[in-house]
Amino acid sequence: MRHGFVKVAAITPNIKVADCEYNVNEIIHQIEEAKQKGAKVIVCPELCITGYTCEDLFLQNTLLTGALEGLNKLIDFSKDIDALIAVGMPFLKDGKLFNVAAVLYQGELLGVVPKRYIPNYSEFYEARYFGNGNDIVEYVTINHKKVPFGCKLIFSHKEIPNLKVGIEICEDLWVPQPPSGGLCQAGATVILNLSASNETTGKDIYRKTLVSNQSARLVCGYLYSSAGEGESTTDLVFSGHNMIAENGTVIAESERFVNGVLVSEIDLEKLISERRRISTYLVEEKKEYTYLEYGEYATENKSTYDSTLSLTRFIDKSPFVPTKREEREKRCNEIIHIQALGLKKRLQHTGCNSVVLGISGGLDSTLALLVTRR
């Protein structure tokens, strides 16, 4: 982290439906690329270890076993990766199948987050295979180790106190009350969305609006990773539409219909500052959420400051002045209207029929003249 910025990545690997070994190798390849670019948080698409479009193959033990073997390979691979990684896969628990995000960090499986809302309308038939996740955090045994399983998990970095990560999966964002709302009120500053959002005409605009609005409403960073080329096209087409948003602005967006790695930076200090400023934004640790720490605490010899971090996002040197002329003129006209209305009310209230202005030729008196003239 440098000056509050943390580098993050949303990836879309090439996949082959139901070929877990091939898919995991592609995921590893893209995680390596994200690592080389300095990403500390990496999100993969929904069900990417198997592919989203496996349909009835999800009910086969061979595929589920292959998914677990793929997860183990990713866990082992992540030992040398200093980044939180969320990867999508099917997971069998108590005889019921769940669509989950497995969360890894440096050779350890930190937790498993199930999809809360399972769509079964229009082109979606997920309820045929998967059950709904619930808010109760339980524990499952994977590789002889108990791991938390539930929707209310928050992953908190020991070194970077403001980096608290929550997870939701695809449809969870599209419902009236997404899980990300509760996660952010419980302290999460960054939300990861593992998605497999198909393409229909105009859906990309709606999808982008959803991501942008949710990041604004929650004053958070929002990483959205969607399935892409390689999924079955029997019923659906996926474009790999990845986005990184911050407090209402999509700061990075991938080209659609091209799989790849999208990297940018989230300004955690800005998010915390905004939340502090908004008196109605109440954040507190809640007992129904499980907070999972990862990483190492900073010491005299180990600091969170990363002098090598370079920004890839655009930082406007004039953030309050639009660069496009038509937008700038609209903004200036709006400012004049607002001030003119305020002056009009004051003149009416005082019964003043005329205005006397001292014009010095400076900016202030010139603006006063323009407002009075309006």
- Active-site positions? 46, 115, 170
CB atoms within 10 A of CB 297: 10
Angle at 325 between CA 319 and CA 327, to 5 degrees: 65
Alpha helix locations (H) across 121-259? 179-185, 203-218
As a whole number of angstroms, the distance between CA 4 and CA 246 comes to 13
Assigned token pair, 40: 């500390």
Assigned token pair, 91: 């997971």
The label of the residue with tokens 């079964």 reads 120
Angle at 126 between CA 121 and CA 130, to 5 degrees: 140
Let me know: does 193 contact 328? Beta carbons within 8 Å: no
Assigned token pair, 36: 């080389």
CB atoms within 10 A of CB 225: 31
Let me know: does 171 contact 162? Beta carbons within 8 Å: no
Q: Are strands 290-294 and 153-157 parallel, antiparallel or unpaired?
A: parallel
Let me know: does 34 contact 261? Beta carbons within 8 Å: yes
Assigned token pair, 169: 């999966």
The label of the residue with tokens 């419980």 reads 186
User: Which residues are bridge partners to 164 per DSSP?
Assistant: 156
